[in-house]
Amino acid sequence: MNFIQKTAATILGHSGSKAGPSVHHFLFHSPALNRDVAYDAYLPAGYDPADGQQYPLVLFNDGQDLPRMHFADILENLASDKKVQAFLAIGIHTSERRIREYGTARQADYKGRGDLAPKYTHFILKELMPQMHEQFQISRKAADTAFAGFSLGGLSALDIAWAHPEVFGAAGVFSGSHWWRSSAVRPDDPDADRIMHDIVQKVTKFDKNQRFWFQCGTLDEEEDRNNNGIIDSIDDTIDLIRALREKGIPEKNIRYLEIENGRHEPGTWGEAMPDFLGWVFAKK
């Protein structure tokens, strides 16, 4: 195994309880990224690798921000309510190359940002996911596997999940950077050239069973490039949802949560987190 457990659960401030998770910190060396990648594993109460149970899994980009959202407490509350399945959560820490590794694998944006997104995609699919299956008792079913993220990390998670429905049955996007563009804003057509929208519209092979959860806050930003009175983050998200519907993704497989006075910050994302996890991992 090419990972090491670097710190104990108690160092992360949550050693687990009857209902809550235990939290463990690991380092994993990625040949694709040529760096060590830190990740936190949130294991459900009662997790026993010897009992043969296969757990659903959710990955998070920008996993270093999950403690700021009181993520372990959120998991404990959800477990206490008994409305969701027991699942594993993995928070993948980013690095100083975040603006290069996150983005869309098809192409970088018009400023060259996201140029390492293809390598990050390889890391997720060919390095991290096999490691997760070796290290933890998790389901191999796409329907039991989700990928989520925040801001640019949300765009990255959506891009990878959309391109690989055989691995990820659901995507969660908190304040997603759907403005990611192939060229600068054109005054005559300010909504043109959004890369993720173009990817969704032009793809010919996709899975109508995939599920998509989106969140925006009404105070996510102030920009309104098309001057329609709606901030760009909400406009871009709603337009992307429209594109998914036009491809034939069923209404029941798309959820949009808009938080009044919600901001582009972990506090708002923590507020939205129970809705995401409750929707993706609701008990059947």
Q: What residue segments make up the domains of the chain, in order of their start?
A: 3-280
The pair of three-digit structure tokens given for residue 33, joined into one six-digit string: 């990224």
Phi, psi dihedral angles at 112 (to 5 degrees): 85, 5
Confidence check: pLDDT of 6 > 80: no
Confidence of residue 18 (pLDDT cuts 50, 70, 90): low
Q: Is the separation of the CB atoms in 74 and 83 below 8 Å?
A: no
pTM above 0.85, yes or no: yes
Average pLDDT across the chain, whole number:
93
Distance CA 6, CA 8 (A): 7
Q: Write down the residue that tokens 């043969």 correspond to.
A: 52
Helical (H) or strand (E) element with 90: strand 88-92
Confidence of residue 19 (pLDDT cuts 50, 70, 90): low
pLDDT 10s digits, 186-226? 999 999 999 999 999 999 889 999 999 999 999 999 999 99
Residue with the bigger pLDDT between 172 and 8: it is: 172
Amino acid at 270: G
Confidence check: pLDDT of 104 > 70: yes
- Choose among 95, 98, 87: nearest CA to 137: 87
Confidence check: pLDDT of 262 > 80: yes
Confidence of residue 9 (pLDDT cuts 50, 70, 90): very low
- Residue 13: predicted pLDDT: 38
pLDDT 10s digits, 24-53? 999 999 999 999 999 999 999 999 988 889
Q: Write down the residue that tokens 């105070």 correspond to.
A: 219
- Residue 3: predicted pLDDT: 44
Over range 90-110, report the average pLDDT: 98
Over range 55-68, report the average pLDDT: 98
CATH fold of the domain at 3-280:
Rossmann fold (3.40.50)
Confidence of residue 10 (pLDDT cuts 50, 70, 90): very low
Confidence check: pLDDT of 11 > 70: no
- Using a 10 angstrom Cβ sphere, with 0-12 exposed, 13-18 middle and 19 or more buried, the burial of residue 85 is middle
